[in-house]
Amino acid sequence: MNAERDKLDHAREEFVAQWGALGTQWGINRTMAQIHALLMTAAEPMSTDEVMEALEVSRGNAHTNLKELVAWGLVRPVVRKGERRDYFEAEKDVWHIFTTVARERKRREIEPALAVLAKCAEESREIHTPEGRAFHEQMRQLEEFVGFASKMADRIAGMKHGFAVQLATKLLG
């Protein structure tokens, strides 16, 4: 029994570390991603103190990142009757996690980028030098492409998981 527990603990620690590294690719910090991984793999909701102990992070760091994970919709607070401590659990449905991360990244990264591209295209529309026309056309094409990719991502995220997988299989097949 102890050997199995040790194997599970080791696998979980490795997952938490790797999820933390992956999180930086999604635009979230390592600790936030590690907390998400820890809660996602926890059998029961965890308190802030348990998160702090497991990841060896400060109360402020744990609190700030838990608050941000709740804001993203990846973690939810859990009320336990008679408890004064805050407990948290992570969303465990993989498709829901994907769509939540996609929605948040769009809001935080894609929409501001589209606004900049639109502004640059608009400001350069009346420039008639060869460089000005080339710049305007580049901005217009980038805006069109990023807008198209954003709409496609919205469509995919709005699909039911099974249908999205079937569609992806057809496209990749």
**Domain edges within the chain:** 2-90, 94-172
Q: Average pLDDT, whole number, for the chain?
A: 90
pLDDT-above-70 percentage for the chain: 99
Q: CATH topology for 2-90? A: Arc Repressor Mutant, subunit A (1.10.10)
The pTM (predicted TM-score) of the whole model is: 0.75
CA nearest to 106, candidates 157, 142, 60, 69: 157
The predicted model gives 60-88 an average pLDDT of 93
Neighbours of 132 (CB within 10 A): 13
The predicted-structure confidence for 32-54, as pLDDT tens digits, reads as follows 999 999 999 999 999 999 999 99
- Is 80 exceeded by the pLDDT of residue 120? yes
Of the listed ranges 4-8, 50-54, 134-138, the one predicted with least confidence: 4-8
Structure tokens at 89: 């659990």
Selected residue with higher pLDDT from 157 and 58? 58
